[in-house]
Amino acid sequence: MEKKKSKKGIVITIVVTVIVLAVIGLYLIGRNSVSMAERMTLPQYSIAEVETGDLAKTVSAMGSLTAEHRDLSTRIPLKILSYPVSVGDTVAAGNPIALVDRTALDETVKNLRQEIAEHDREIQRLNDAHDTTKTFTSPYSGRIKEIHCEIGDDASSLGTAFVLSADGKMKLETKLTEKHDLNTLLTVKADGKSYSGTVVSLDSDGIYKLTVTDNGPESGAAATVHNSNGDQIGSGELDYNNPLTIKSDPGIITKIHVSENDKVYKGTNLLNLKQIPLSDAYAYEVNTRQNKLDDLDYCLNIQKKGYAVVLEDDVTVKSVGEENQTVPPETPFASVYTVGATELNIQVDELDIASVEAGQKATVILDALPSEKFEGTVTKISNVGNSEAGVTTFDVTVVIEANSSCKIGMNGNASIIAQQHKNVPVIPINALQHEKDEQYVWISRSGVLPEDRRADPGEKVVVTTGLSDAEKVEITSGLNPGDKIVVVTRPQLPFDMMAMYGG
């Protein structure tokens, strides 16, 4: 029995020993595996230099090519028989785009010539009845107080020719040092003369209004008020009580019939005028005749081109109207593009539209011509957005320097240079570190990296940044060109390896 117990004890001891050794082994393996994971995730350091370069902020958007287009219309009612072109055709300058009815056009030409002859006769009649001189008379009665014209003046360029006092009175508004009733007579002195003044009103601010004759005193003259004892009780400036301005009829002034302070009546001669402009009726006839003459020239040009509407520039047909129809004046009968697709109409996201301005440069790449880059300029930005599925975009027009390969309807992408900084300090974007709201880089004063990759790679320097792209970032403060900085790269272990080593 004792031997069996001894053997059993030995077995238990061996088992316990194996278990302890296994635990110790697993512990050591686990400790070593953490170290391996740590070693595999230590950052990699490299030295870079702050350089000087250019950076730009761009706004990219898709769109399609189009071209400037215009509607074609007629000056006169024009019967169009047919269109010898189709939508999408390029029509060279001098080739017909529409053929018109000969009979109808010939009748229009005949009628226009008759109408022009009638206008010529009426113009001659009005010219024969026209007086080249006239006398301008006063439209009101009163006293001439100011004359604002001279012989030789063109009266049509004058604002006011005369200022007239309509009620025979000048006024003086002032506070008095003593009270007086309405209609009290006081003495008003101005320009070294004395005038009888009448108190005509008193307002709530204690301002008296006195009137004196307009025969003599001038507007703006300094005046004083005196009582019956001769004491001065107030002062102010004289002004017109009821002034009227007179504007002359047009013409060159050859004589002025009145002087300042003259009394005039309605109908009194004021001015003699010459070179009187022709009447409104004459001007109407002349303008109407010219319009008819332009219509006639338009028709004769169509006749000369073989009864066809011909354009003077190369175009691409956008649309045409119905054949065998009479088109009213100023009504489009066709629409054409200028030859060559020159505009890319793009849709810019609302988050970017504030950065886009007319005049900004852009680079355009067309899907159909991926190897070519076209320079462009932003020319138009819509103020009204287009909303669809919760996304708002704004139409922006980019005019490009196109070639014959560019065709209307081609799709492309425009990269608009919204902001550009040249010759500024730049660093690799992965050299920039972030900690909370702070941006910093590691700067290496010696240019030597630490052997221990768990140590700080250099001196921490806080920086501010400007523009950036996928590779570089602008440094606006904290670094100078030529500074040595440390680019920190942190390897990422695959997920299965992180799990293996307890990461």
In terms of Cα–Cα distance, which of 312, 354, 317 is closest to 333?
317
Q: What is the pLDDT of residue 34?
A: 42
DSSP string, 202-238: E-TTS-EEEEEESSS--TT-EEEEE-TT--EEEEEEE
CA-based nearest residue to 91, from 326, 331, 335 = 335
Give dist(CA 372, CA 481) in Å, integer: 35
What's the full length of the chain, in residues?
503
Residues near 267 by Cβ (< 8 Å), separated by ≥ 6?
137, 138
Report the candidate in 45, 33, 43 with the shortest Cα–Cα distance to residue 497: 33
Q: CB neighbours of 246 closer than 8 A, spacing ≥ 6? A: 138, 139, 140, 160, 161, 162, 163, 164, 270
Q: Alpha-carbon distance 59 to 485, whole Å?
A: 30
Task: Report the C-alpha gap between 483 and 321 in whole angstroms.
Answer: 70
**Which DSSP string do the residues of 68-91 spell out, in sequence order?**
-EEEE--SS-EEEEE-S--TT-EE
What confidence score (pLDDT) does residue 501 get? 47
Judge contact between 492 and 40, C-beta under 8 A.
no
Report the greatest alpha carbon distance in the chain. 163
Give the gyration radius of the chain's Cα atoms: 48
Tell me the β-bridge partners of 98. 309
Is the Cβ–Cβ distance between 414 and 344 less than 8 Å? yes
Give the chain's residues under pLDDT 70: 1-41, 339, 492-503
Q: Give the per-residue pLDDT at 446.
A: 80
Task: Give the per-residue pLDDT at 494.
Answer: 56
Contact between residue 286 and residue 84 where contact means Cβ atoms under 8 Å apart = no
Contact of 161 with 148, CB cutoff 8 Å: yes
Tell me 154's DSSP state.
B
- What DSSP state is assigned to residue 155? G
Residue 502, pLDDT score: 47
The pLDDT assigned to 231 comes to 96
**What residues form DSSP beta bridges with 165?**
143, 243
pLDDT of residue 57: 86
Residue 35 has a pLDDT of 53
Q: How far apart are CA 377 and CA 396, in angstroms?
A: 11
pTM, two decimal places: 0.51
Evaluate whether 258 touches 264 at the Cβ level (below 8 Å). Answer: yes
**223 closest CA partner among 194, 181, 198, 182:** 194
For domain 58-66+339-420, give the CATH number.
2.40.30.170
pLDDT value of residue 20:
57
**Which amino acid belongs to residue 51?**
E
Domain regions of the chain by residue span: 58-66+339-420, 71-93+310-337
On whether the CB atoms of residues 404 and 351 are closer than 8 A, the answer is no
